[in-house]
Amino acid sequence: MSSACPNPRPVFGAWTSSPTWVRAVPFAAFIVLTFLQGKLGDASRYWLYFVKTVAGAGMIWAVRPFVSELRWKLSWEAAAVGVGVFVMWVGLDPYYPTLDGLAAKLGVGKANPAAEQAAAMWNPHAQFGAGSAWAWFFILVRILGSSLVVPPLEEVFYRSFLYRYVTRPDFTSVPLGAFAWLPFLLTSVLFGLAHNEWLAGILCGFAFQGLVSRKKRLDDAIAAHAITNFLLGLWVVSRGAWKYW
* Distance of alpha carbon 219 from alpha carbon 74, whole angstroms: 8
Q: Give residues with Cβ within 8 angstroms of 187, minimum separation 6.
A: 158, 159, 162, 163, 166, 205, 209
- Identify whether the C-beta of residue 212 lies closer than 8 Å to the C-beta of residue 159: yes
Average pLDDT over residues 1-23: 63
- In this prediction, residue 105 carries a pLDDT of 83
* Distance of alpha carbon 150 from alpha carbon 155, whole angstroms: 8
- In this prediction, residue 120 carries a pLDDT of 60
Taking the model in full, what pTM does it have?
0.89
The answer to whether residue 1 scores a pLDDT higher than 50 is no
Separation of first and last alpha carbons in the chain: 51
The phi and psi torsions of 123 (rounded to 5 degrees) equal -135, 95
Instruction: Name the nearest CA neighbour of 55 among 80, 29, 79.
Output: 29
The answer to whether residue 237 scores a pLDDT higher than 60 is yes
pLDDT digits (tens, 9 = 90+) for 13-24: 566 779 999 999
pLDDT higher at 63 or 16: 63
* Distance of alpha carbon 7 from alpha carbon 126, whole angstroms: 47
Q: Return the domain boundaries, the chain.
A: 70-244
The answer to whether residue 2 scores a pLDDT higher than 80 is no
Among 118-127, 161-170, 222-231, name the one with the lowest average pLDDT.
118-127
* Distance of alpha carbon 204 from alpha carbon 202, whole angstroms: 5
Exposed e or buried b per residue across 12-42, where buried means at least 16 C-beta atoms within 10 angstroms of its C-beta = beeebeebebbbbbbbeebeebbeebbeeee
